[in-house]
Amino acid sequence: MLCLRSESSPLWAEAALRDLDGFLIDHAHCEMKAASNALSLSARYPNEMDLVRALAELAGEELSHFRRVLEVMTERGLVLGSPPVDGYAAALRTASAGLKGKHLERWVLVDRLLIGAVIEARSCERFKLLLPHLPKVAPELTAFYEELFACEAKHFCTYVELAKLAAREFAGEVDGRLEMLAEFEAGILLQHAVPAARVHG
């Protein structure tokens, strides 16, 4: 799906639905991180106005997702708490360090954008896996996750487009780089033998 090179275990949806409260808490943290990552990227490249504008819009949407997950959590009496350890995104960043040209500032930006794309793609895949079960388990969440599925797919496209813009004359290399990152991501997921109630990992 999208750029992904592996499918999540069918047991993943079972794990998420078994601990829906835990999943919602992890999801809230993911949305918060998505917003802050987009803002921190725009702060790092303040002279690239196309990038800054696109990331500001994306951050606004992620913040709105965060607030809406918080509303759901409030209705269920849940507390956000400290973020769980996020080995997934860290492992992706570490894996990307092995890509060629990494010493060039341009590729640092391109790879950060592509990591964003891969993370969005995995969110989409996971939301899609949940969707058939939600009408039975938590019907009040079905429309919300349908909307998020579409929105995170749009974010995937935005990140890939931004990566191509950022790569400038090397835009033709971006698809191949995305494939390599997606391979790394598939390998990272293999290390999580027991599916957990988390959006990633």
- Cα separations (Å) of 183 from 144, 152, 186? 30, 20, 5
How many helices (H) and strands (E) in the chain? 8, 0
Task: Give the per-residue contact string, 105-144, with Fe ion (x = CB under 5 A; - = no).
Answer: ---------------x------------------------
Query: Position 67: which residue type?
Result: R
As measured in angstroms, the least distance from the Cβ of 112 to Fe ion is 14
C-alpha 155/C-alpha 45 separation (Å) is 19
59 versus 197: smaller Cβ distance to Fe ion: 59
161 versus 173: smaller Cβ distance to Fe ion: 161
- Give the number of other CB atoms < 10 A from CB of residue 104: 11
Residue among 3, 23, 39, 62 that touches Fe ion (CB under 5 A): 62
20 versus 34: smaller Cβ distance to Fe ion: 34
CA 153 to chain centre: 10
- Contact positions vs Fe ion (CB under 5 A): 31, 62, 65, 120, 152, 155
